[in-house]
Amino acid sequence: MQIEIVQLAERPELLEIVAGWMYYEWWIDIDGASLGKQTDLLHVHLVADRVPLTLVASSDCHPVGTATLLAHDVGTEQWPELSPWLAAVYVVPEYRCRGVGGALVNAAVDKAAALGVPSLYLLTNSREGFYTRQGWQVMHRNGEEVVMLKANSS
């Protein structure tokens, strides 16, 4: 399976699809959230090569996953000195366990390095093992909530 990963800024026609993935995966049960608001939030990701940015993975030109770099993710307010954050890593169900998630994470790390970012952070409560296999290290643990770090080697 061939996977192509580009910035959403290069494929703006996918904005509504990506917004839908994010909304239905993480925001649908949040008071005041809507698909329209999620779509509006992603408009600032349409500028290439700066944070915030969103990557989109495609297989045969069909979008199959996404990952985002944000200055600060929801729930990271207690670490204002840490930035940027890897967030919203999502792969459509029929493409999971096929290397798409790992490719997205690695592409985000590479993009951050290209932008001169020395370290990336993420917050997870269910995917620590996945990120550990991608070379991330645990920085902080609070119950199920885990903050992880990936230092760029360049």
What percentage of residues in the chain have a pLDDT greater than 70?
99
Could you tell me which residues come within 8 angstroms of residue 120 by beta carbon, excluding any fewer than 6 positions away? 69, 84, 85, 86, 108, 109, 112, 149, 150, 152
The single-letter code of the amino acid at 146 is V
Residue 123 has a pLDDT of 92
Yes or no: say if 71 and 51 are a contact pair by the CB < 8 Å rule: yes
What percentage of residues in the chain have a pLDDT greater than 90?
80
C-alpha closest to that of 86 among 111, 49, 116: 111
Domains along the chain with CATH numbers: 4-151 (3.40.630.30)
Residue 74 has a pLDDT of 75
- pLDDT, one tens digit per residue, over 107-124 is 999 999 999 999 999 999
- pLDDT, one tens digit per residue, over 44-98 is 999 999 999 999 999 998 999 999 999 988 777 888 888 999 999 999 999 999 9
Question: Does the pLDDT of residue 149 top 70, yes or no?
Answer: yes
What Å distances lie between residue 41 and 8, 35, 99, 108, CA to CA?
Answer: 13, 10, 28, 19
Residue 79 has a pLDDT of 85
Residue whose entry in the numeric block shows the structure tokens 């045969």: 60
Residue 153 has a pLDDT of 65
Question: Does the pLDDT of residue 154 top 70, yes or no?
Answer: no
Written as six digits, the tokens of 72 are 């600060």
DSSP letter for 111, please.
Answer: H
Q: Sort strands 145-151 and 119-124 into parallel, antiparallel or unpaired.
A: antiparallel
